[in-house]
Amino acid sequence: MAHGAFEKTYAAADFRYERLPYRRAGASGLDLPALSLGLWQKFGTDYPAQIQRDIVLHAFDLGITHFDNADRYGPPHRAAQQGFGDVLARDLAPYRDEIVLSTKAGNPIGPSPYLKGGSRKTLLNSLDHSLRDLGTDYVDVFYHHRPDPTVPIEETAGALLSAVQQGKALYVGVSNYGPEQAHEAAVLLRGAGVPLLVHQPRYSIFDRTPELNGLIDLAASDGFGLVVYSPLAQGLLTDKYLNEIPAGARAANSAFLKPEQIDDEYRKRASALNDLAAERGQSLAQLALQWVLRRPEVTSALIGASSTWQLDHNVAALGFPALTDDELAVIDEHGVDGTGLGR
């Protein structure tokens, strides 16, 4: 988002804290909105700056106070942080104390050995760069983006600890860690007096990994919350692909979803789930969001958005009745782990 691109003065909606529930992150004192806005996709230089701004500000008006970023998000890398930094400076600066900003480091952003991994140099250098991108003195949550088995976990956890000690982050998290790695990190951080706040895994009706590998149980015992990403399975848990792949859809042009993943078995299962959602008077996407949030260990579900309408639609998911045991059984029947995920 280029400087000088915006003219309108923003004032946050008065009733923004009445729109959606907040949930406690594990054993901490921090509440997060049940839905958080992720800037993983649609927040690079290839997407209109004004639409990005509209989405961010509308999210805040809806009570979405948590904005999830990473040095890798773009394109190009760091563009999402820089764009959000422009909106923060121009519109949201008066509300900085009401916002939870998170960012991540460690996923490769270049060929240099210092632009990837879990070393102290990689993580702390990236955080300094991210603070410049965002135009803020601190982030609320600093994550290691993915595990690095080539670096001692003590070094990675120590870098996260230093971020807090230096006042550059209030809390720390990990993302994409397996249960054993997450437990090691949690033990080390807790022993140093900076408990692991959150873990960010992928979780959806079609990706049950956190249930199957014990991560959800570990979150409860180790006291960290789960901020789950891809709760709509990259759009597979919407009605978009039930019949064909629409022109311009993510499956047609994304590195994260390929046309061959949308096969007859996927359509059969997704259609059955869509029928259940229709019986409940909601969309498949709304059903999928309710499903991940049914677990108390899940603090927040990350949603993306390409329009303010999508934000409104997803927030409306929180207003439907809780899923019954019979409905959960139907979801289990058709929501087979691995469906459409190409694995």
Whether pLDDT at 287 is above 50: yes
Q: Is residue 241 part of a domain?
A: no
Question: Which domain, by its residues, includes 296?
Answer: 20-235+283-324
Question: Which pLDDT does position 277 carry in this prediction?
Answer: 98
Q: Identify whether 6 is part of a domain.
A: no
At 63, phi and psi to the nearest 5?
95, 5
Given a cut of 60, whether residue 2 has pLDDT beyond it is no
Q: Which pLDDT score is estimated for 6?
A: 56
> Which pLDDT score is estimated for 7?
58
pLDDT band at 156 (very low <50, low <70, confident <90, very high): very high
Mean pLDDT, residues 164-169: 98
Q: For residue 4, what pLDDT is reported?
A: 46
Q: Would the pLDDT of 293 be above 50?
A: yes
Give pLDDT, residue 35: 98
pLDDT value for 343: 63
Domain count, the chain: 1
Question: Which pLDDT band holds residue 262 (cuts at 50, 70, 90)?
Answer: confident
The one-character DSSP state at 233 is G
For the segment 6-42, what is each residue's pLDDT rounded down to a tens digit? 556 899 999 999 999 999 999 999 999 999 999 999 9
- Condensed to tens digits (0 to 9), the pLDDT of residues 52-92 reads 999 999 999 999 999 999 999 999 999 999 999 999 999 99
Residue at 288 is within a domain: yes
Residue where the block lists tokens 């061959």: 260
Taking the C-alpha atoms of residue 85 and residue 88, their distance in angstroms, rounded to an integer, is 5
| Cβ-contact 318, 287 below 8 angstroms | no
- The answer to whether position 41 is within a domain reads yes
pLDDT at 261: 78
Pairing of β 100-105 and β 35-38: unpaired
DSSP 106-166: -S--SSSGGGSSS-HHHHHHHHHHHHHHHT-S-EEEEEE-S--TTS-HHHHHHHHHHHHHT
Q: Is residue 145 part of a domain?
A: yes
For residue 162, being part of any structural domain is answered with yes
Instruction: Report how far residue 151's alpha carbon sits from residue 92's, in angstroms, rounded to the nearest whole number.
Output: 37
With 0.75 as the threshold, say if the pTM is over it: yes
Cα 235 to Cα 56, 304, 332, distances in angstroms: 20, 10, 19
278, part of any domain: no
For residue range 228-258, what is the model confidence (pLDDT) as tens digits? Answer: 999 999 899 999 889 876 555 555 555 556 6
**Ranges 2-16, 51-65, 120-134, 277-291: which has the least confidence:** 2-16
Q: What is the band of 3 on the pLDDT scale with cuts at 50, 70, 90?
A: very low
Say what the pLDDT of residue 207 is: 98
Tokens of 276: 């259940």
Is 136 part of a structural domain of the chain? Answer: yes
Q: What is the mean pLDDT of residues 195-219?
A: 98
Question: What mean pLDDT is reported for the chain?
Answer: 94
Measure the CA–CA gap between 250 and 257, rounded to whole angstroms: 7
pLDDT number for residue 341: 86
Give residue 279's pLDDT band: very low, low, confident or very high (50, 70, 90).
very high
Q: What percent of the chain has pLDDT over 90?
A: 89
pLDDT of residue 243: 83
Residue 253's pLDDT is 53
- Tell me the CATH number at 165: 3.20.20.100
Looking at the predicted structure, is the pLDDT value of residue 296 above 90?
A: yes
Angle in degrees, CA 219, 78, 35, rounded to 5: 40
Predicted confidence at residue 342, as pLDDT, reads 73
Query: What pLDDT score was predicted for residue 1?
Result: 46
